[in-house]
């Protein structure tokens, strides 16, 4: 196998190894590359994953320093070339700072902020739990294409700043998203279904072209059945519920 | 009723501030940045007299870790940033921030005193080597969008503030 997917390790990333494993379990070749790699090395990959963690120790605010690194310029070119880009947790926060999602204006300007978790207008700090999400408009994004709009999918969340605040909340309806829901698939806006007070129950959102997706929950922690706790209701059998998301990386054309 | 303001700073190197300066100069190209400093501002409003309120805040600072960790943070009742210099200060607050209600409950339980309002914000002190006009442009287009998220936070220019205000 030749390397095809790059998992970008920033200073403070801490989920890069299990993200590589989530890819290799699907028969996809993946390697960790560093934030200060050359553009030539960066361009030798066909898809990119920004993993979870605490890049630059979340200094100033989550993801903002990483979002201004030279490697993000390479990532913008990769987006323009329609390469697949996935941001998970801190990777989602970095993509939000770059303006690559939802990118309604087609510019580099920020359109969404990831803000501190809230309950009843009060900050509640870090959350670490299993929740359920389901997809909207999955056919409009290559990472979600294998999912449907009705099946609730269990997945862990582990973040302190995962509350999406959109500059224009009305754009959400035009984009593929993951939304928090109950184990039966009902969208309830209150805690604990919506664990952090996020706008419109948004847990993840893609771009218009369908090649970029950013999500706060951790799919790499739910790709194998043995990762799913016994008390979680899940219909999946041979693989974990999020294996199809990584399987999307098999088609890198 | 009175409001006490206390400013909390790192005793040693402020790594957040250091990283912010490095990023602004080396990643955002803000070579005109001469100095960047940061402090955390707490505003505490009580029904007490100014003297009693100051005593309460001093007790909170001395006998708890709620608003400052004395192992690594120092506090002062006057702003660490001087007015009249060529630096400007900005106060960054979240747009939907309503105060520290849970912390108020904890402080009231421990110190048996009523607190009406407790809020926290970040103060950035920025010094640029540029004309006033250029500085204003650089602040607006480069520094502030980095230090405060324009979607969820507000950066407001501040003047010198007295530590104690009778309301």
Name the residue in chain B with its Cα closest to that of A164.
Answer: B152
* Domains of chain A by start residue, with CATH: 5-250 (3.40.50.880)
Is A220 one of the catalytic residues? Answer: yes
| B106-141 pLDDT, tens digit each | 999 999 999 999 999 999 999 999 999 999 999 999
Residue A56: which of B19, B98, B153 has the nearest Cβ?
Answer: B19
Cβ pair B98:A113 closer than 8 A? no
Q: What distance in Å separates residue A60's CA from the closest CA in chain B?
A: 6
Q: What distance in Å separates residue B20's CA from the closest CA in chain A?
A: 7
Q: What is the mean pLDDT of each run of 10 residues along chain A (253 residues)?
A: 84 98 95 98 97 98 98 97 97 98 91 94 92 97 97 96 96 96 96 96 97 98 93 76 95 70
Is A62 one of the catalytic residues? Answer: no
List chain A residues with CB under 8 Å of B102. Answer: 122
Q: What pTM did the predictor assign? A: 0.94
| B80-93 pLDDT, tens digit each | 887 666 899 999 99
Residue B151: which of A70, A113, A118 has the nearest Cβ?
Answer: A113
Q: What is the pLDDT of residue B113?
A: 93
Q: Collect all residues from B whose CB is shorter than 8 A from any CB in A.
A: 15-16, 19-20, 23, 27-28, 94, 96, 98, 101-102, 146-147, 149-153
Disruptive mutation site among A60, A65, A164, A169 for chain B (greatest number of B CBs within 10 Å): A60
Cβ pair A166:B151 closer than 8 A? yes
Q: What is the pLDDT of residue A241?
A: 94
Instruction: Please give the full DSSP string across chain B, using - where no structure is assigned.
Output: -EEEEEEEEESS--HHHHHHHHIIIIIS--TTEEEEEEEEEEEEEESS-HHHHHHHHHHHHHH-SSS--TTTEEEESS-SS-TTSSEEEEEEEETT----HHHHHHHHHHH----SEEEEEEEEEEEESS-HHHHHHHIIIIIHHHHS-TTTEEEEEE----SEEE-
Instruction: Please give the full DSSP string across A144-188, using - where no structure is assigned.
Output: TTT--SS--EEEEEEESS-EEEESSGGGGGGS-EEEEE-TTS---
| A141 touching chain B per CB within 8 A | no
């Amino acid at each position: 196998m030749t390397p095809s997917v790059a998992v970008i390790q920033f200073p403070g990333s801490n989920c890069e190894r299990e993200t590589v494993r989530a890819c290799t379990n699907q028969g996809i070749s993946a390697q960790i590359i560093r934030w200060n790699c050359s553009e030539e090395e960066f361009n030798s990959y066909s898809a990119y994953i920004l993993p979870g963690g605490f890049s630059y120790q979340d200094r100033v605010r989550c993801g903002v320093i990483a979002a201004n690194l030279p490697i993000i310029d390479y990532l913008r070119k990769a987006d323009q070339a329609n390469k697949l880009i996935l941001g998970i947790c801190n990777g989602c926060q970095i993509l939000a700072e770059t303006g690559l999602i939802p990118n309604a204006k087609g510019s580099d300007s920020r359109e969404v902020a990831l803000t501190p978790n809230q309950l009843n207008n009060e900050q509640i700090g870090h959350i670490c739990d299993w929740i359920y999400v389901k997809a909207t408009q999955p056919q409009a994004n290559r990472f979600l294409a294998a999912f449907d709009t009705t099946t609730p999918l269990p997945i862990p969340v582990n973040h302190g700043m995962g509350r999406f605040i959109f500059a224009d909340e009305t754009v959400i309806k035009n984009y593929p998203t993951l939304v928090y829901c109950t184990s039966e698939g009902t969208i309830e806006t209150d805690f604990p279904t919506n664990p952090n007070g996020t706008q419109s129950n948004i847990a993840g959102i893609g771009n218009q072209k369908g090649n970029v997706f950013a999500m706060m929950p951790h799919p790499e922690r739910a790709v194998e059945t043995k990762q799913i706790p016994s008390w979680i209701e899940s219909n999946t059998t041979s693989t974990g519920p999020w294996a199809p998301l990584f399987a999307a990386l098999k088609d890198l054309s | 009723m009175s409001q006490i303001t206390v400013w909390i700073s790192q005793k040693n190197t402020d790594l957040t501030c250091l990283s912010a300066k490095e990023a602004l100069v080396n990643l955002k190209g803000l070579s005109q940045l001469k100095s960047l400093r940061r402090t955390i501002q707490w505003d505490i409003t009580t029904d007490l007299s100014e003297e009693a309120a100051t005593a309460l805040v001093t007790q909170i600072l001395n006998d708890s870790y709620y608003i400052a960790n004395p192992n690594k943070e120092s506090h002062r009742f006057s702003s660490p940033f001087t007015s009249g210099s060529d630096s400007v200060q900005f106060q960054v607050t979240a747009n939907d921030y309503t105060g520290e209600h849970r912390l108020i409950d904890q402080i009231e339980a421990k110190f048996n005193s009523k607190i009406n309002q407790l809020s926290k914000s970040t103060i950035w002190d920025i010094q640029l080597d540029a004309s006033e006009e250029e500085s204003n442009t650089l602040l607006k287009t480069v520094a502030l969008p980095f230090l405060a998220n324009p979607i969820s936070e507000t950066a407001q220019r501040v003047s010198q503030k007295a530590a104690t205000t009778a309301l």
